[in-house]
Chain A
């Protein structure tokens, strides 16, 4: 096997076998599971306590109410004494006694807390409708008269759902994109810089470089990290798709998914687009810089420090997006969407905002690719000299000596 791939797979396997990677991978699924479980438990325990019992001697009256308000009622309870006991155990909010004679319908509510306005409205509607039926019957009206009295006023409202949802989808996509890019870049730059710095700290590099060229080794490291992130994205895509399908059918989330179907689909479309390419290329350019940064430290103990310059750059790029969340079409984001290290944030945001043409996207990607190539070539060239400087001299002395290896 080519030595480049030996280094690539060694880096990949070492990362994916580590506990930190497994936790990184499972984290979102655990969060999803915990949220669903907590929601389900909450719903289960909340079912009894939110309901009321209907007590009535008039079975027709009771059945009629239950039929139109089944979600609010604990159907099993038919007696006041049972309802009182359940209320004391906090398993019932209250009970409603329904009475009707030939003239009048009446109701009395007894509960541990006052009725909510929606519930009160639904009870009132039922009582009014039942009283009206009784009134019509007592008034002995003709069918036409009955029909005339049943006429209701009409209120129509039109909401431009598409535009409203699209705007909300853009806002959600903006935040999801910047946070996702930020977290992924922070994670992988830290992993890369620390991996390179600790390897340099073990001083094994002389042995490695007596077997393969520094350029191949450097590329192998970058490719290894890329394979790790591709694995992570693949797992998230499959897991995310599974979660999406599950959420569409689970009783707890079904209504939510139906209600926000358009919004969720718009957000997903924004995320699973060319923006993924920007994310990947962003990881590549930041990883190369992180490898360079890792190569500058001299001791394994300094490995945590190695990632700091790249993390700072990533943080700057992240925070610079904030002022532009509502005016992404202004000139500054336009310029920044072509600048390597920043374009991974800004171009996806412009794409979400439908503000970038195909040509602009292609130019930005080409600039990013060219920067990656130039940076990788230069760092690959000086990498060997830098990695072999393991003495305790000052940073600049090591850096200068590292560069002089190639002169």
Chain B
């Protein structure tokens, strides 16, 4: 288990992290969200001991030291490999730095290339690969030594939907074998789909923390999807409706002032009659993200 307790980091006058605490258990996936500059990469850098910080970070109740480096698989935000090496040389070099011998890794390379559908052979040079294939090779380098703690900084950026699915599957495989996984993403769908827990950072502080369900529920079921023959103007004028937005023909999205107002709005729309659709939900993660980020700008 990874435990981050009261971690703070300043760069001069800038408070990059302000007293953050969270944990990730084995076989659990934690999503880290936040706007650019919110402190996501600094959090990763602190866990990886790249910088000095205040607070405590432990791995299985022990401070994280060089001895744990072999158990970590890290994919940084900036995609980077050594362009002059072949795929095989690159994977073996980085795996050797994780204390795996070339003998152990060599037989695995073909399977991993297949798993990620990398175009080309292991003898191709990195510089000759497309950007997408380079990214996949880097993911292989991150995962091939079966790390117990996986840290992925924006792993989905630049991947098309097909390759995103391949990566999701690899993440789920790692979860299945008991790895603790943290990844940052701007794509809330991926976070919602994969994560057991999520954290939202803003200006180095945690503003949201919990399971995806908990976070969404905490905002209340203030969103209604409704199919009705009323006009948008009529809907907008209704009591407790703070916003109304047309979606399709006769289908609308309403935002309520409070979760409990749902019953009142339902009664007014139906008058005890059949209605094709009335669906009351909490806001999506994407909306919560925008809402929380918006609070900052207000």
Contact = CB atoms under 8 A, between A and B. Distances in A.
Contacts of A86: none
B48 A202 contact: no
A63 B289 CA distance: 111
A68 interface: no
Given A6-B97, A10-B93, A401-B11, A388 B80 contact: no
B113 interface: no
A407 interface: yes
A3 B93 CA distance: 10
Interface of A: 1, 3, 6-7, 10, 14, 199, 202-213, 384-385, 388, 390, 400-401, 404-407
Interface stretch (B70-78, B191-199, B220-228): B70-78
Interface size grouping (class) on chain B: 20 to 34
A203 B12 contact: no
Contact of A211 (B80, B83, B97, B151): B97
B81 interface: yes
B288 to A, nearest CB: 29
B69 interface: yes
B62 to A, nearest CB: 17
Interface string B128-156: 00000000001001100000000100000
B274 interface: no
A385 B80 contact: no
Residue among A204, A384, A390 with most chain B CB within 10 A: A204
Contacts of A212: 66, 69, 97
Nearest to B80: A203
Interface of B: 10-12, 45, 48, 50-52, 66, 69-70, 72, 74-76, 78-84, 93-94, 96-99, 138, 141-142, 151
Nearest to A391: B78
Contacts of A206: 48, 50, 74, 76, 78, 80
Nearest to A215: B66
Contacts of B80: 202-207
Given A212-B66, A405-B51, A207 B96 contact: no
A384 B50 contact: yes
Contacts of A209: 48, 50
A213 B151 CA distance: 18
Given A206-B74, A210-B69, A6 B96 contact: yes
B31 to A, nearest CB: 20
Please name the 10 residue pairs, one residue from A and one from B, whose CB atoms are nearest each other, closest first: A203-B80, A211-B97, A206-B76, A210-B74, A203-B78, A204-B80, A405-B51, A202-B80, A210-B48, A404-B11
